[in-house]
């Protein structure tokens, strides 16, 4: 069975192209508020960032099917010496939109990975109390749910669909998916990778989430699509996808990731007016 992938170059505050309750899973990474390396001064202030998140979460509630899951890869942000509670405020925006808070997974990167701050060095220079600032090698995977899932849904699916959706127990146990801590190597935006210069997240994160929270043939959304990682994983796992991205220059990379036009994969691009705001998903506007 071929898959369909629809990419909209436009702002995800209003996803009017998507019918009500037609999305079975959302996996995304919004633009981290004015992150010094990836998104410096993207938002005029923190309230501007929160406005984007509140508007988006409201429309997300409309498009998500009853009982289904929305996942954010995000974390608190240190900007010019001030720490912003992105995780708490994203959670509040989702709760206010009507979602239930279901789980939180901690994504841990390799120990040697510190991109910017190296805050721990302050104590080495001043080995006294009150000089401690830890370096951050983790991000949060926040998991929300629209109401509760009707588990009789799976019994109505064909035996073939259920079998293609089966989660491998060896993979689940052997890679510690059952824990609230996932140790996954990050993607660095350089070298010969398609994501060079883009804040992309590793394919392993959406791969696990798509397997754990959706069935074969269903539809996945990444509203901050970036370079298209979530859509690529959805295609490989036999799912359809929607993606929103404000940077049309990423189209070539998205096309390469999706292998547009081959292997029974249908990809449709459309463009509409955009607001001057960031989408992070899989790339510059997002993280995917």
CA atoms of 214 and 282, how far apart (whole Å): 19
* In the predicted structure, residue 284 carries a pLDDT above the cut 80: no
Task: Tell me which residue range forms the domain holding 185.
Answer: 3-271
Instruction: Give CA separation, 279 vs 105, 198, 202, in Å.
Output: 22, 12, 17
266 inside domain: yes
Query: For 161, what's the count of Cα atoms within 13 Å in the CB-facing half-sphere?
Result: 13
pTM of the model: 0.89
Q: Domains in the chain: how many in total? A: 1
54 inside domain: yes
Pick 136 or 158 by higher pLDDT: 158
286 inside domain: no
169 inside domain: yes
Supply the CATH number for residue 190's domain. 3.40.50.150
220 inside domain: yes
Identify the pLDDT of residue 205: 97
The predicted-structure confidence for 257-270, as pLDDT tens digits, reads as follows 998 655 678 999 99
The predicted-structure confidence for 98-148, as pLDDT tens digits, reads as follows 999 999 999 998 876 655 556 777 877 888 898 888 888 899 999 999 999
278 inside domain: no
Please answer whether residues 99 and 63 qualify as being in contact, where contact means their C-beta atoms are separated by less than 8 angstroms: no
CA atoms of 250 and 243, how far apart (whole Å): 12
CA atoms of 12 and 126, how far apart (whole Å): 46
CB atoms under 10 Å from CB of 201, counted, come to 29
């Amino acid at each position: 069975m071929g898959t369909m992938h629809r990419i909209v170059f436009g702002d995800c505050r209003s996803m009017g192209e998507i019918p009500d309750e037609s999305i079975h899973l959302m996996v995304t990474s919004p633009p981290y508020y004015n992150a010094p390396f990836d998104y410096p001064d993207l938002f005029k202030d923190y309230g501007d960032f929160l406005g984007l998140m509140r508007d988006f979460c409201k429309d997300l509630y409309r498009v998500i099917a009853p009982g289904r899951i929305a996942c954010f890869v995000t974390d608190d942000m240190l900007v010019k010496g001030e720490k912003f509670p992105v995780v708490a405020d994203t959670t509040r925006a989702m709760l206010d939109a009507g979602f239930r808070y279901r789980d939180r997974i901690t994504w841990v990167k390799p120990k040697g990975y510190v991109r910017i701050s190296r805050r721990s060095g302050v104590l080495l220079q001043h080995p006294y109390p009150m000089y401690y600032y830890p370096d951050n090698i983790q991000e949060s995977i926040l998991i929300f749910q629209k109401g509760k899932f009707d588990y009789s849904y799976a019994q109505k699916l064909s035996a073939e669909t259920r079998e293609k959706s089966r989660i491998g127990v060896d993979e689940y146990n052997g890679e510690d998916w059952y824990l609230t801590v996932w140790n996954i190597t990050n993607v660095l935006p350089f070298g010969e990778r398609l994501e060079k210069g883009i804040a992309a997240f590793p394919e392993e994160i959406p791969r696990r989430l798509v397997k754990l929270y959706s069935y074969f043939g269903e539809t996945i959304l990444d509203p901050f699509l970036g370079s298209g990682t979530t859509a690529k994983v959805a295609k490989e796992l036999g799912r359809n996808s929607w993606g929103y991205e404000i940077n049309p220059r990423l189209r070539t990379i998205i096309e390469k990731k999706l292998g547009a036009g081959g292997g029974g994969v249908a990809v449709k691009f459309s463009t509409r007016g955009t607001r001057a705001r960031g989408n992070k998903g899989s790339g510059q506007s997002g993280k995917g």
